[in-house]
Structure 1
Amino acid sequence: MGVAVTGRSGEGAVLAVLAFGNFIVGMGAFVLVGIVSPIADGLGVSKADAGIVLTTYALAYAVLSPITGALTGTLPRRVVLVTALSIFALGTVLSALSASLLMLAASRVIVALGGSMYGPIAAGIAVAISAPERRGKALATVFIGGTIAQVVGMPFGAWVSYHFGWAATFWVISALTALGAGVMALAVPRDIRFQAAGLGTIFAALADRRTMFATAFTATMIAALYMVFTFFGPLIEASVGPDPEIRTGFLMLNGVGAVIGNLVGGFLADRIGSWRTLILICIAQIVIMPLFSIVPLSFLELAIVIATWSAFSFAFIAPQQARVAQFAPEAVGIVLSINAAMIYIGITVGSAVGSRILGWYGLEALGIAGGLVAVLALAHLVASGRPRPA
């Protein structure tokens, strides 16, 4: 359905625009991490209660992603992208206007609706317009917008909220999102070729146990990573103390590693294949994550561990997206939507299990526990196998 994007220059321009949209969606999600305390103070609730807005977004995204993929499966891609960012902007405006925790949580469901529409569609377009030998790089290019958002989202949200109030952060994001919707309307071709999909497609995908088991590897791997990442701040402080500037520096180092890892993951997927790349990433995490249990680390040791952990963590997304697309080439958009849901299921499970481990055994147990779950993820990957040859 539609026409193909021709030429590498045309392909590159579309991928850059899609990456900008992912940056916007990522900013809308990650700024919350840096403004939980101002929200709690502003709404007169505890920090633990304010944290529910993060969980609400993650769960809503996980539930809505495959549903929106099916319901929008026959619509032109540009229409869906513009609509997604418009809904995202509306939800963010409502977040800025929220006078209670309940209203804020409800607004995050609307934001998640827009985000769950945008992300899988952007990845699906990357798959559709790129040649198989460039697919990993194309997915990495689109996803790098979200990676950069993670680097700047937390410090940006904290800076704006502490200077102008937490609502100002949402106003800035809503304006950025409105700009993004306009860019999509002008820059994305009207008739990008795509696979039409409907509710029947999602039911068929869900019934394919082999594809679903391969896609569920995303949740297993993300859960392992978030057992550590959820408590990155305390892990850093355990080695270098509570100095906020030093902690911010290590978080920025994590972001640099994430950007590099994202690009390298796409490169390796194109060169040695997605499955081999993911095997390498799992083995690396099995080795690296237990090092977080050897605290305190020296300044240099901690820098090396964080940089390598971050690079191997964010190298995971592009090859796994390329892999699940190969499992169901007739329903790429739907399986990418389900894969996006698995990311947020993994975040929710990993954070919850990490909290339990922290409460029962202390901070030093998180790295070992994450490494053990990475072993489980490797077993999951091997058991799910490789896609059948086309």
Structure 2
Amino acid sequence: MPGLLYLFTLCNLVIGTGAFVLGGVLAPMASALGVSVAAAGQAMTAYALSTAVLAPLVLVLTGRWPRARVLVVSMAVFALGNLICAMADSLPVLLAGRVLMGVGAVFTAVAAGIAVALVEPQRRGRALSLVFIGISMSYVIGLPLGAWLGFRHGWHVPVAVVAGTAALTCGALAMALPRTISAPGASFQGLGDLLRRAEVLWTLSLTLLYFVAIFCVFAYIGPVLQALLPMSTERMSVTLMLFGLSGVVGTVVGGWANDRFGPRRTLTVQLAVLAAMMLLVPLTRGNHALIVLVFVVWGIAGFGMMSPQQSRLAALAPAQAPILLSLNTSMLYIGTALGAAIGGPAALTVGFDRLAWVGVPFALAGWLTLRLGVTKGASWRPA
């Protein structure tokens, strides 16, 4: 694999940590800001909506820029957004910083487009999994470490650490990136025709639905784990780390399975496993070993879905892969925002311990769109 992809892995580790670190420290953050946990959870919604709506616009507006410049500027914007969050003493200031972070997260879509352009089609799954494994690794390193720091020293501390790390990776990009990267920029040209293709719409719908399913729970992962079994800070950090490790495994396995079995068969199995684990989560209450087992299997299935999804879209229109991958990222974050928006009020009704059941219908609806995308789509066929 091209060495540039390993640098993207590191950058996505920082982005993933910044995006999701608040999930582990929602309770102390809500207390410090004087708001409810459900209100504090909307920090994820702000980030997600910004990434979904603003990042594609930024991607197109910078379509004629050298790819290296886009990568460096986007990481700098992400660092600035984190710095604002670290200094926030009210929810509105925190939300403003999260919006700016969402704009900077355009980095991930640009990096994915470069990965597709740098390798031959039969290696796309593995190239994309290498880029996105940084996001998975954030659950192993960033999220548990952030939870530990947040409970020990205050929620501002892990956010400030992310801001500093993002600034360092921005400097590394500026020094290491070649001046010319052979990858297309994004544009809206031909997008209307693409969005009239049923298989494109079904593929994007699947991303939306399975992220709603996941993030109606994961946006509140700290309170969910505590509702299932009260834990010390150290035990919660270890639990989150094990979940993150499963995500790394899932990302690698998902890329391999995509190249070996094709995206449709891979996604069919992953969705079935994801729905089954969500059904089982409330039944693990009081048993730490079962909690870990169910969330580990969940992580392998859930994290593994990104590479097959990205590969499906890239195969539909390789020349327009950057904008399609950006739209897929938009669906990811709209799903994240909807999940967080649904999960907060739902938890007040069903309780945090049974919140996973709320996500099951969305996972099943995702499975249905996968089936419809195959039966109705005319031009796509699984590898």
TM more than 0.5: yes
Q: Does 1:78 align with 2:65?
A: no
Give the secondary-structure state (helix, strand or coil) at the position aligned to 1:75: coil
Q: Does 1:388 align with 2:377?
A: no
In the alignment of these two chains, the number of paired residues is 379
Q: Distance in 1 between matches of 2:154 and 2:187?
A: 43
Match for residue 59 of structure 2 among 69, 73, 82: 69
Which stretch has the larger CA shift, 254-263 or 281-290? 281-290
User: Could you say what the CA RMSD is over the residues aligned between the two structures, in angstroms?
Assistant: 2.5
**Is 1:125–1:194's contact at 8 Å kept on the other side of the alignment?**
yes
Q: Does 1:183 align with 2:175?
A: no
Q: Does 1:334 align with 2:326?
A: no
What does residue 98 of structure 2 align with?
A: 108
Equivalent residue letter for 2:56: P
What does residue 57 of structure 1 align with?
A: 47
**Is 2:144–2:238's contact at 8 Å kept on the other side of the alignment?**
no
What does residue 325 of structure 1 align with?
A: 314
Equivalent residue letter for 1:130: V
Q: Does 1:265 align with 2:250?
A: no
Distance 1:96 1:338, change over 3 A: same
Q: Deviations over 1:11-57 (max 9, x none)?
A: 1x111001111111112212222344444444444444433322211
Equivalent residue letter for 1:105: L
Q: Distance in 2 between matches of 1:140 and 1:89?
A: 24
Q: Distance in 1 between matches of 2:236 and 2:145?
A: 15
Q: Report the CA distance between 1:326 and its aligned residue.
A: 1.3
What does residue 5 of structure 1 align with?
A: none
Distance 1:369 1:283, change over 3 A: same
What does residue 120 of structure 1 align with?
A: 109
Q: Does 1:20 align with 2:22?
A: no
Q: Does 1:157 align with 2:146?
A: yes
Alignment of 1:209-248 (within 5 A): 209-248=198-237
Q: Distance in 2 between matches of 1:93 and 1:229?
A: 24
State the identity as a percent.
Answer: 35
Equivalent residue letter for 1:179: L
Q: Deviations over 1:240-264 (max 9, x none)?
A: 4444433333222211111111110
Give the secondary-structure state (helix, strand or coil) at the position aligned to 1:195: coil
What does residue 89 of structure 1 align with?
A: 79
Q: Deviations over 1:125-177 (max 9, x none)?
A: 11111121111111111111111112332333334345554444333222211
Gaps of at least 5 residues in structure 1 are: 1-7
**Is 2:53–2:330's contact at 8 Å kept on the other side of the alignment?**
yes
Give the secondary-structure state (helix, strand or coil) at the position aligned to 1:190: coil
Q: Report the CA distance between 1:235 and its aligned residue.
A: 4.6
**Is 2:126–2:259's contact at 8 Å kept on the other side of the alignment?**
yes
Match for residue 287 of structure 1 among 261, 276, 285: 276
Distance 1:50 1:332, change over 3 A: same
Q: Report the CA distance between 1:67 and its aligned residue.
A: 1.1
Q: Report the CA distance between 1:334 and its aligned residue.
A: 0.3
Give the secondary-structure state (helix, strand or coil) at the position aligned to 2:189: helix
**Is 2:41–2:344's contact at 8 Å kept on the other side of the alignment?**
no
Q: Deviations over 1:291-333 (max 9, x none)?
A: 1232436443333222111111111111111111112222100
**Is 2:44–2:337's contact at 8 Å kept on the other side of the alignment?**
no
Distance 1:168 1:134, change over 3 A: same
Equivalent residue letter for 1:56: A
What does residue 314 of structure 1 align with?
A: 303
Q: Distance in 2 between matches of 1:342 and 1:310?
A: 19
Distance 1:201 1:17, change over 3 A: farther
Q: Distance in 2 between matches of 1:306 and 1:176?
A: 28
Gaps of at least 5 residues in structure 2 are: none
Which stretch has the larger CA shift, 167-176 or 155-164? 155-164
Which stretch has the larger CA shift, 351-360 or 143-152? 351-360
Using the size of structure 1 for normalisation, the TM-score is 0.88
